[in-house]
Amino acid sequence: MALAPQLALLLALLAVALLIRQAVGRMRLAHIYEADTPAGKRFDVVLLVVIVLSVVAVALESEPSLQSRHQALFTPLEYGFSGLFSLDYLLRLLCSEHPWRYARSFFGIVDLLSSIPPLLGLGAIGGKYFTLIRILRLMRVFRILKLGLYIREADRLKQALVASRRKILIFLLMMIKLVVIIGALMYVIEGEAAGFVSIPTGIYWAIVTITTVGYGDVAPVTPLGRVAASAVMLMGYSIIAVPTGIVTAELGRAGNPSVNASGEASRPAAQRCRACGEPQHLLTARFCHRCGGVLGDPPADQPDGSRAMV
């Protein structure tokens, strides 16, 4: 029964969305939701401003002093923002040519989580702070402002991370082994008197120390323990550079397609295509990338005996 008002509000928003689609037209709505159109750009800019305001409101509501004094303001604001975003989500579904594809997409899931759950009053289980997911919708600014260069750079970073995933996984497994060994060693050296009450506590200290965080809640007190801790600290500085170097190398390869998997630059072959005259080909190429002709064969109107020497 507690969800009855929220469900009624959601059904009312669905009715409003249907009326808007009927009045405006599905095609015009689709053009508004396209950032390449002037109307779409203006709409998305307004939407981004509303998203920022809603995120700020949720962040301020988490402050106990503000929540106690202005709860009567935060509650209607939250329902208002959730209603607007729910209406936007329903309109996107209604005007999309492939609504199920949009619903399963990244932005479709983000739009759903940032609108419907807060509207249904899921704050009882802490779900109202789901609205902070709305900040992910700010990623639309890349599309609105046509920052294609940054999107390409993000794709390069994704390619580099995917290409280096096995190396990073092996590095993480080695780090896990290392911190377990160091944690057990410090437990033996220091013991409970210095706060190393168990091997897991020693492992926690090893992780904090080798990552150069250093909370200081557990620290060695014996000379041997301090020598070992110094070695672990120095080791941490050198270890941090390993994943950075792996990703950096893959980024360089992703940004230079002429570099092969072994890190060597591909050199153009010493032969040119006899059909079209294209001179630049990879050493392993068998066909011309320009005309599709077989490399080394004479053109169709030239006999075999009259092949030009290159």
The pLDDT-based confidence of 68 (bands split at 50, 70, 90) is: confident
- Sorted by where each starts, the structural domains of the chain and their CATH numbers stand as 4-146 (no CATH), 163-255 (1.10.287.70), 267-310 (no CATH)
**Looking at the chain, how many residues does it have?**
310
Q: For position 226, what pLDDT does the model report?
A: 92
Stronger pLDDT, 78 or 236, i.e. the higher one: 236
Give the burial string for 22-36 (b: 16+ CB within 10 Å, else e). eeeeeeebbbbbebe
- Quote the pLDDT of residue 304: 45
Which pLDDT belongs to residue 1?
43
Residue with tokens 């060695």: 220
pLDDT at 125: 43
Local confidence band at 71 (pLDDT 50, 70, 90 cut-offs)? confident
Average pLDDT over residues 33-48: 77
Over the stretch 91-101, which tens digit does the pLDDT of each residue have?
Answer: 988 888 888 88
Q: Identify the weakest region by mean pLDDT among 27-41, 133-147, 214-228.
A: 133-147
Please check the confidence at residue 11 and state whether its pLDDT lies above 80: yes
76 pLDDT exceeds 80? Answer: yes
Q: Render pLDDT for 295-309 as a digit per residue (tens, 0 to 9).
A: 765 544 444 444 433
Model pLDDT, residue 263: 46
Using a 10 angstrom Cβ sphere, with 0-12 exposed, 13-18 middle and 19 or more buried, the burial of residue 229 is buried
Going by pLDDT thresholds of 50, 70 and 90, the confidence category of residue 224 is very high
Q: Which residue has better confidence, 2 or 33?
A: 33
Higher-confidence position of 232 and 137? 232
What is the DSSP annotation of 165-217? HHHHHHHHHHHHHHHHHHHHHHHHHH-GGGT--SHHHHHHHHHHHHTT----S
174-206 tens-digit pLDDT: 999 999 999 999 999 998 888 899 999 999 999
For residue 8, give the nearest of 76, 91, 86 by alpha carbon: 86
Residue 65 has pLDDT above 90, yes or no: no
Q: How far apart are CA 37 and CA 9, in angstroms?
A: 31
Average pLDDT for residues 220-226, to the nearest whole number?
A: 92
Per-residue pLDDT tens digits for 266-289: 444 446 777 777 776 666 677 776
Return the amino acid letter for 27.
M
Here the tokens at position 39 are 């109307």
pLDDT confidence of residue 19:
92
- Mean pLDDT over residues 29-39, rounded? 75
As a dihedral over the C-alpha atoms of residue 9, residue 15, residue 18, residue 23, rounded to 10 degrees, the angle is -110
For residues 46 and 127, the model is more confident at 46
